[in-house]
Amino acid sequence: MEISHSKEVVAKSYPSTRPAVLSRSLLQGNDLAAIIRRDAPHLRLFTEEERRVSLDEMLKFRPDGNVWVFGYGSLIWNPAIKYVERRVAHINGWHRSFCMSIVAGRASPSAPGLMLALDEGGHCSGSAFRLAEADVRSELTLLWRREMLCHGGYIPRWLRLVDANGQGFGHAVAFTINPNGGKYAGDMPTDAVVRRLATAAGGLGSCADYLFQTRDGLRSHGIPDATLEQLARQVEHALTM
């Protein structure tokens, strides 16, 4: 059994106050919601009951077999959940994209940012985490507190996992963008994406740090993303201007 934690690097665009680390202990309390409320008090957050209902609905349609979680962003370098197996996985029909607009966490209303989500089309490589059966409910509860924070952001789905040879080995919980939820930004020009990632920061750190950590995490697991690599180079350049 493994529990993974990761320290965050504070990007130079972040203000003087040290950001909070998105840790397991933070998810076990109400601290994350408090951070989001401080950044953007107007945001409508899911209640604990709403998240419970959402998770119940997800588990109602659980496929046969083990429960996996698919990580394509910060879960790769900071899963903060207990798991019994980790492996490289690929999904078809979805791609990793900075397509969700945010104004809290790693952004603010005055300097909005972008967060990764799975958008329709293409394919995506990432990390799959297998949960012990006894831990499914408790670990997914923490995951829902992490990902299902604000209305209009993610839609959780069961997606089929395949290995490097294209062989399926299970289904995973994955968080896809809600294209009709008001936070979709998949059609934003590249220069606007770079500007947001280079300037946005909030109570959890900066969007630039999130980008760089994800790039490094993908590299360390042997699944670099050429599009993300190019975007990171552009943001690094913007930070030197």
Residue positions annotated with a catalytic role: 147
Q: Which DSSP string do the residues of the chain spell out, in sequence order?
A: -EE---PPP--TTS-SSPPPP--HHHHHTTHHHHHHHHH-TT--BPPHHHHHHHHHHHHHTPPSS-EEEEESSHHHH---SEESEEEEEEEEEEEEEEEEEESSSS-BTTB-EEEEEEEEEEEEEEEEEEPPGGGHHHHHHHHHHHH--BTTSEEEEEEEEE-TTS-EEEEEEEEEE-TTSS-B-TT--HHHHHHHHHH-EETTEEHHHHHHHHHHHHHHTT---HHHHHHHHHHHHHHH-
CA–CA separation, 37 vs 48, rounded Å? 15
The pair of structure tokens assigned to 165 is 């040879």
The pair of structure tokens assigned to 216 is 């490094």
CA–CA separation, 213 vs 74, rounded Å? 7
